[in-house]
Amino acid sequence: MDDRKSKILALILVVTLISLIAVAALYLGPSWEFFCVFGAAVTVIFAVFIWLIRNRSKEPGHILPQRQKHMMSRELSVPCSFLRKVAGVPTKFRYKELELATDNFNALIGRGGSGSVFKGILGDGTCVAVKRIEGEERGEKEFLSEVAAIGSVQHINLLRLYGYCIVPSGPRFLVYEFIQNGSLDGWIFHRRDRRSRPGGCLPWHLRYSVAIDVAKALSYLHHDCRSRILHLDVKPENILLDDSYRAVVSDFGLAKLMGRGESRIVTNIRGTKGYLAPEWLLENGISAKSDVYSYGMVLLEMIGGRRNVRVLDDGKDRSLRKYEYFPKLVVEKLKTGKLMSVVDQRLLEGRHIDESQVRKLVYVALWCIQEKARRRPTMAQVVDMLEGHLRVDEPPETEMIIVDLLSIGKDKVQGKSRIKATGVYLSDSGSTTPAATPTFDNTTIFSGR
């Protein structure tokens, strides 16, 4: 007897038994004989159902090999993972997953002040960059709130955060999308060894596009997110270039959330020497203008193809070293009408560069690195300036008192300790002797077209 016929007979048997119960109830009433018939019928019906269930579980279509079950589970996990990425929901990864993806953290692709970055491939084939954050001072609750805020950020010029991992009493991990062309520093600075990392000499028109891309990303973080996000570590190493050489701002490992009603916040010093705004060192509290300062320093490095602080006399005694401060050099060349001499010389070899674009970038950069935060533009204004929606006036001279922690070399001259940074001096008493600079309100920085 085939399976289909047995099921039909079982169904007929159940219907017959139910009919028998109804007839017994009608003719016997609530008697001892009725309850005997009722109990026997229910027992048989229950047995039939048990037989049907057991027979169904033994069918070939319901017996899946273990390997097939694993394959189905993996196939289901891929669309689930995809949907989480599209929705911008950060995934909580297990440490073992990241260890397996990064070949036990052997695929090192970068190292910074806050941690190391490793290349990895997740189980669904997604290529990722895994950042291991060491010595994190924030609590777990604060860390998770920042991860949630950053993970919800969706912008074409911001690196996607896929997820995170917290190891109890250990390091924390952030999992980002992987960008193939590497970071901006490999494309604007001279490097002797280019075999290990992608790089080259980025053409001028792409540098200008990168400047706009980065400005848009920071403007989005400062003005268009539900919680204002301060990056706090804007530098060429944290700006990546995708396959189309579009800039993607990365590394929110040091990011700080700022409420809409807050104008300044006080926190421990974060970031990289050479890009820190003066308010970090003066302990006046930081704001979105601190990112603006760092952005201005990056702009100058993109223009010159060199670091803003350069050692002129690399003596053995660090206290006697002399340093050249590129922003000061740019101001001097701007005064003498030799602005093109500060442009990366590789860009000038047989190529025409629009001097008006160079001048615009220099002006924007000098506005951004004004020592007083109130003089600096917002990142939204920077975007408008670079795209030609706001006219860029010549910026006032900034005192440049605080050059950089690493750029300070002291020698005693007539009882005074001087900072050697192409003519910028700071006395022991803290008084300064630069030329007087005009005072500008925010309303006079820009004028519309």
Query: pLDDT for 236-270, tens place per residue?
Result: 999 999 999 999 998 765 566 655 555 555 555 66
**Residues in contact with 312: Cβ distance below 8 Å, sequence separation at least 6, in sequence order:** 321, 322, 323, 324
Above 70 in pLDDT, residue 79? Answer: no
Tens-place pLDDT, residues 2-48: 667 777 888 888 788 888 878 777 777 778 777 787 888 888 888 88
Tens-place pLDDT, residues 115-163: 789 999 998 899 999 999 876 666 777 788 778 877 878 899 999 999 9
Nearest Cα to Cα of residue 421 among 446, 438, 406, 403: 403
> DSSP label at 417?
E
Separation of alpha carbons 155 and 220, rounded Å = 8
Q: Which amino acid is at 141?
A: K
Separation of alpha carbons 113 and 115, rounded Å = 6
Q: What is the mean pLDDT of the chain?
A: 77
Quote the percentage of the chain above a pLDDT of 90: 38
User: Please, which pLDDT band fits residue 439 given cuts at 50, 70 and 90?
Assistant: very low
Q: Looking at the annotation, which residues are catalytic? A: 233
- Cβ neighbours of 95 (radius 10 Å): 14
Tens-place pLDDT, residues 106-127: 989 888 766 789 999 998 899 9
> Where is 382: in which H helix or E strand?
helix 379-386
Size of the chain, expressed as the number of residues it contains: 449
Q: Is the model more confident about 400 or about 85?
A: 400
Instruction: Tell me the pairing of strands 91-92 and 161-166.
Output: parallel
Residues facing 183 on adjacent strands = 240
Reported as half-sphere exposure (CB side, CA atoms, 13 A), residue 377 has a value of 28
Nearest Cα to Cα of residue 231 among 214, 210, 246, 213: 214
DSSP per-residue codes, 306-351: S-SEEEEE--S-GGG-EEEEHHHHHHHHHHTT-GGGGS-HHHHSS-
Instruction: Tell me the pairing of strands 247-249 and 228-230.
Output: unpaired
Separation of alpha carbons 167 and 82, rounded Å = 25
Question: In 140-203, which ranges are continuous DSSP H helix?
Answer: 140-151, 185-188
Tens-place pLDDT, residues 156-196: 999 999 999 998 888 889 999 999 899 999 999 987 665 56
